Amino acid sequence: MRAVVRSDGKAAPFQQTFKSYIDSGSLTFVVVPDMTIPGAFNSALQGIDGVIHCASPMPPMDAKIDPEIILGPAVKMTTGILEDAAKVSTVKRVVITSSVVTLYEPKQGRYVYSEVSSYFFTRSSFTDA
């Protein structure tokens, strides 16, 4: 398994948790500092047979944020990994999952959603983008 991270520092927490997989050679990390540029994933995808894309940039906690600040990088990362995967003959499957960013709803001030929040997401929680 090959995990892509933006920096060595971002890999550090996982290196201790998954130490046995790293030691056995089952898990490696590849640094891709800017995942939004075309071709960013080219070298990271070489020789693999599947891709699971399950991350997105976290937006700043600003209730008046421009949606493009959130959506632009997410779209560039997703289309970029799909385009790069299409160029690698060994890639057989690509799985795109959602991320916590899809639940992002800026509140006035700082608000943290948790399993004990009294806020439940329903259809009325979301507006047309």
**Which residue range is the domain that position 115 belongs to?**
32-125
- Grouping H, G, I as helix, E, B as strand and the rest as coil, residue 2 is strand
Q: What is the pLDDT of residues 95-128, one digit of tens each?
A: 988 766 666 555 555 656 566 555 555 555 555 4
Query: Are the C-beta atoms of 22 and 28 separated by less than 8 Å?
Result: yes
Output the pTM of the full model: 0.69
In a domain, 75, yes or no: yes
Q: What is the pLDDT of residues 62-104, one digit of tens each?
A: 656 677 777 788 889 999 999 999 999 999 999 988 766 666 5
Contacts of 110 (CB under 8 A, 6+ apart): 61
In a domain, 24, yes or no: no
The number of domains in the chain is 1
For residues 75 and 85, give the distance between their C-alpha atoms in angstroms, rounded to a whole number: 15
Query: Are the C-beta atoms of 77 and 37 separated by less than 8 Å?
Result: no
